[in-house]
Amino acid sequence: MTDARIEFLEHCGEDTSLPNVYVTKTNETAFENWLKTSNTLIDGRWLPNGQGLNLDAKERARIVAFLEYERAIKWNLGKILWKDHGEAYENHYYYFMFQIVKPYSMTVKEYEYTMKTYANKLKIMQPPSMKKCESYSGANWTIQEKQLDEQSIRRAIFNGLPKPYKKHLRSGYEQDWRQMDDATFVSAMADFEAEDRTSQEDKKAEAERNKQNHKNRNNSNQGQGGSKRGRRNDNNDKKFCKWCKQAKSKFFDNHNTDDCTMKDTWQKQGKLKTQKEVHTIESLASTQEKQTALLAKLIKKLDSDDDEEANH
């Protein structure tokens, strides 16, 4: 990371614009060799003056210097990876603690392992920093260790469990779930998981049985009424209900008059004609037909008479 190396060179008082510093800032091996020297460690205030020949003190100073360099790399990578890099860790931490929900298809053992892996990745993220922070040294390098201890990770795992799991862990054991060792905690979750899977499978099987029973009843009902409807449809494929037709229902053609279940309802609503009205209408229709026939004969006779007169 060139940016991280440049920051270290400037921290130690080097002029990064000089040609002789170019290799140090662009070549990783050259930079690490430079960082190991006593002069660099003293300039960077990792090694006290006069301790250049103290091998133990020099080794401790190198460890601190390289730890700082690692932080500088992490800081500059975060600037590349995240738009709001100063808030990236805080956003991920909030999601990790409060927004994850264990997928139903994931076993509790897989879930616990995945959450711990996520926590380990959070520990190596760029730490949070304020808006005007321009150097890795201004970031909060202690917060991740405090927020991602074993107790917090256990709480995040618990928070992501469905409510029935939480109830089981709280009430099903004498020991507090927060004080269980990892093996006991996973075993406690697995106990409920087995019960829950069995219960879900039973419910699914019951739903399938109910579905099949409903289907069988429908098939049975269709079989009982099929022959009667078949005979009726042999005579007349089209269905017609005179009661629904009189009531001006749009469903008059989806069943026959004998099968109508709405007749009484139509009568109560006054939508059906009385027998007297039906007889009167039929009589009028019959009389009208007779009159039409007589009128046709009369017109035909008159036309015939006109033709005879024309011939004489």
| Residue boundaries of the structural domains of the chain | 1-81, 240-272, 276-312
Question: Is the distance from CB of 193 to CB of 108 less than 8 angstroms?
Answer: yes
Q: What angle do CA 186, 187, 188 make, to 5 degrees?
A: 90
245 band by pLDDT with thresholds 50, 70 and 90: confident
pLDDT digits (tens, 9 = 90+) for 49-58: 989 889 999 9
What local confidence, expressed as pLDDT, does residue 215 receive? 78
Lowest mean pLDDT among 109-113, 126-130, 257-261, 273-277: 273-277
Task: Look at residue 233 and tell me whether its pLDDT is greater than 50.
Answer: no
Sequence-separated (6 or more) residues with CB below 8 Å from residue 307: none
Q: What predicted TM-score, i.e. pTM, was given to this entire model?
A: 0.62
pLDDT digits (tens, 9 = 90+) for 164-193: 999 999 999 999 999 999 999 999 999 999
Rounded to whole angstroms, how far apart are CA atoms 129 and 242?
Answer: 83
Name the CA radius of gyration of the chain, rounded: 46
Q: What is the mean pLDDT of the chain?
A: 85
Backbone angles phi and psi of 14, in degrees to 5? -85, 145
